[in-house]
Amino acid sequence: MSSEQEGKSIRCLVAKVGLDGHDRGAHVISRAFRDAGFEVIYSGLHKAPEDIVQAAVQEDVDVLGISILSGAHDTLVPKVMDGLREYDAAEDTLVLVGGVIPEEDRPELKDEGVAAIFGPGTSIEETVEFVRENAPER
């Protein structure tokens, strides 16, 4: 398979989980992913972990990008990962987290199955390249 996955576009869900009301970063990454040729679905604000899991499974996404700035990443992200595992979707979904995630919390999120964590100041190009190189082949 080529990096373009034989012409099939990469399906991405950009999700805001929990009560975090700040969505500028989610909009920026959604537009950047669209500009890169990815198919993008945006969850909207204030979604419960179960809502995110349902959307990821129903839309059969390749990539789930969770944007979280509320500080509740240590409880909300594991709930999303548990839900993906319940539907046997964790293995073939590349899960990314974007936001202000303290260094000391990152290993736990990686242990949960998060592929990468992108903090403030990460270049759009770096994020797009990571998705292109790591999105699951179907």
Number of domains in the chain: 1
**Do the beta carbons of residue 26 and residue 69 sit within 8 Å?**
no
Please give the mean pLDDT across all residues of the chain. Answer: 92
Q: What are phi and psi of 101, to 5 degrees?
A: -115, 115
* Predicted confidence (pLDDT) at residue 6 exceeds the cutoff of 60: no
- The answer to whether residue 113 is domain-embedded is yes
What residue numbers bound the domain in which 92 lies? Answer: 11-133
Q: What is the pLDDT of residue 18?
A: 87
- The pLDDT confidence band at residue 1, using thresholds 50, 70 and 90, is very low
pLDDT in tens, 66-85: 999 888 899 999 999 999 99
CB-count exposure of residue 133 (10 Å: 0-12, 13-18, 19+): exposed
Global confidence as pTM = 0.92
Q: What percent of the chain has pLDDT over 70?
A: 95
- The answer to whether residue 44 is domain-embedded is yes
